[in-house]
Every structure is written in structure tokens, then in C-alpha cells.
Amino acid sequence: MKVLTKEFAPLYVEKATGTDYTISEGPGWRQLAPGFGGFVASTYFDLAGLSQREKTLFFEGAAVQEVLPPSSTAATVGNGLVVCDIMCTSPMTDAQASAFALSANFADGSTQLSFEQTVYGRVRVFNMNLDTLAGGYYDVLSNNQLGSLEPTASDRIYCYRVVSFGQANANGIHSLYGARFLLQAIAKEEAEFQYLMRLQRSYVLQQSHDED
């Protein structure tokens, strides 16, 4: 049994005037569109060593570890944000990863990500309320998890972290703290025909917009 880990850096963004956001600090983070409150970071688990040994990876569990909820230096009641954590066997563009908050991996969505391709996904909505306002921390309104933990012969598991800050949020610094993605998995040998079929499917899924 192996526990695979990948970490994402914290993101600190400043909202100074109107609806404009800028990154104050956030290694590895990029803004989805200039000025707007959407940001994404990505990485991947490298499983090439397992695929070279013709092993299939079977997932036993997945989780995301965090130390604190998001916060703000100048929040007001009603401010909010949405955070998506995604681990999948198919790469996505930034726009597709951003769409996960609305359509996730459902058939009529725009992420082009299926249930089987989604190893783990989580969408959370945060809001600033009267109880948490004094401390400056956002409170979670909903926490929805979805995914298949489907075995894979792929040599990569793609990881995305997406956050969307509300355009009506108060001016100031808004913070999303660091996170660690965890996958608990075991590598096993399958019957040759099963492995080859799984390998072929993994290869096809990785050909679209896969960039190093």
C-alpha cells in the first residue's frame, strides 16, 4: 500500500477597486482572466514507474488536507468563494477545470470529464457570516464530494485546485491556505488483456491538451 502526496501553495489575492483581483502571493497559481476572481493551480502524480512495470493502480482512498479555512482581512457579511479540488486521469484546460464548480463530471457538463475519469472531486462553497466575521474566517456552506476511485493504468493523475472569489467581496486580502492531496493506492498485476485495454484507454484520454 502506498500513500501518494502532492502539495499546493497558499494563495493570497488582493481586491483593491471595483471587481478587480490580483495575486499578491501564490507560487504555481495563475489567474483565469485578468481582473476577475478565478484562479487555478495544477500538478500531477507521476506514475510512470508503475506503468513501465505493467502494474495497474487500484485506489483505496483519497483526501485533501488543509490547516485553516479561507480568510479575509476586510470581509463583510455575504462575501463568499467556491473552492474545487480535483484528481483525475484526464488532463483539463484551465477553463474546463474552472467549470467543475458548476457541472462537475456530469454528462451534460462542460468539463469533458467523466465519472470514471474523476478519481476524486470536491466542491465547497464558503460564506462570511456574523459568527465568523470577527475572526476573518469564511464558514463552509456546502461540501460535496464525487468521484469513482476507478483503477488506472495511466502514468499520471492530474491534480487541480480552483478558487473563485465573489465579485462583490469587500476590498482587501483574501487568503486560501495550502493543501495536500492524498491518494492511498496499491499496484497490482491484472490479466494481460484487461491491462492492455485499460492502458489503451488511458493513452487515448491523455492525448488532448496534455502539456508538460
pLDDT tens-place string over residues 37-54: 999 999 999 987 765 566
**pTM summary value:** 0.87
Residues of the chain with pLDDT under 70: 50-54, 190-212
The predicted pLDDT at position 210 comes to 47
The predicted pLDDT at position 205 comes to 52
The predicted pLDDT at position 55 comes to 79
The predicted pLDDT at position 196 comes to 54
The predicted pLDDT at position 85 comes to 98
The predicted pLDDT at position 38 comes to 96
As a dihedral over the C-alpha atoms of residue 202, residue 51, residue 63, residue 163, rounded to 10 degrees, the angle is: -50
Please state the three-class secondary structure of 150-207 as a single string: CCECCCEEEEEEEEEECCCCCCEEEEECCEEEEEEEEEECCCHHHHHHHHHHHHHHHC
- Give which of 81, 79, 84 is closest to 120, Cα–Cα: 84
Hey, which residues does 167 pair with through a beta bridge?
none
C-alpha of 183 from chain center = 13
The predicted pLDDT at position 132 comes to 85
The predicted pLDDT at position 193 comes to 47
The predicted pLDDT at position 11 comes to 98
DSSP state of 137: B
Q: Identity (one letter) of the amino acid at 175?
A: S
